[in-house]
Amino acid sequence: MQLFVGLGNPGKKYEKNRHNIGFMVLDEIASDQGFTPWKSQFQGEVCQGNIGSEKVILLKPSTFMNLSGQSVGEAMRFYKLTPADVTVFHDELDLAPSKVRVKMSGGHAGHNGLRSIHQHIGEHYQRVRLGIGHPGHKDRVAGYVLSDFAKAEADWLDDVRRGCSDGAAELAKGDTPRFLNAVSLRTAPARSSKTAKPTETKKPKAAPEPVEDTRSAMQKLADKFRS
């Protein structure tokens, strides 16, 4: 059994925020994979289903980002899971928009949701880092992550959501390369190997060669008076 956790903040006010991309990905997985309806449990919203041969629980903590670990720890204890059974989907400032990476264990890099999870279950869990880009200065980070995605970002955001859902079965099996490949097929589809032939440019016609005048001087003079 696997526990997939999406990080975000609950409520309409936050649902389109960059900080809520983890929630967005889980919503896509639940919809595409035909999971049970969401219900309130473990201080969050929970649904479950099978992805391939794996049973997967989806959890969106309702504790607000900074207390996410309370919800994750409660669900993990109920299902008697280990941290290695947990995968957390979260926004990542250090990755460009649409980039997705997977990391096992390690620090929280200042992410308050991960910091809280560290406090409750330790650091030995898997993270799916969902790139949202950086605003350029640390003083702008709080406002940036708590603002909505721009309309111009809708296409790549949809690709990331669908890509994560496409690869969910591989992720549940522990096949990270195939999961990332499924994501990249959405976010960076292969280009056609057929290349357009360059437009042919017509060569200018060569000027006709001059014809040698073989007339005698008398003929030239006579022709001149005839004209």
Which pLDDT value is given to residue 214? Answer: 59
How far, CA to CA in Å, does 41 sit from each of 55, 78, 110, 112?
18, 11, 27, 22
Distance between CA atoms of residues 77 and 171, nearest Å: 22
User: CB of 204 within 8 A of CB of 68?
Assistant: no
Instruction: Given the residues 19, 90, 111, 118, select the one marked as catalytic.
Output: 19
User: CB of 36 within 8 A of CB of 47?
Assistant: yes
Average pLDDT in the chain: 89
* CB-based contacts of 206, cutoff 8 Å, min separation 6: none
- Concerning whether 19 is annotated as a catalytic residue, the answer is yes
Question: Which range among 37-46, 190-199, 214-223 shows the weakest confidence by mean pLDDT?
Answer: 190-199
- For 75-121, write each residue's pLDDT tens digit: 999 999 999 999 999 999 999 999 999 999 988 888 999 999 999 99
Which pLDDT value is given to residue 218? Answer: 63
Q: Give residue for tokens 């014809």.
A: 211
CATH 3.40.50.1470 fits 2-150, yes or no: yes
Question: Which range among 34-38, 62-66, 209-213 shows the weakest confidence by mean pLDDT?
Answer: 209-213
The answer, yes or no, to whether residue 196 has pLDDT greater than 90, is: no
Look up the pTM and report it: 0.82
**What is the total residue count of the chain?**
227
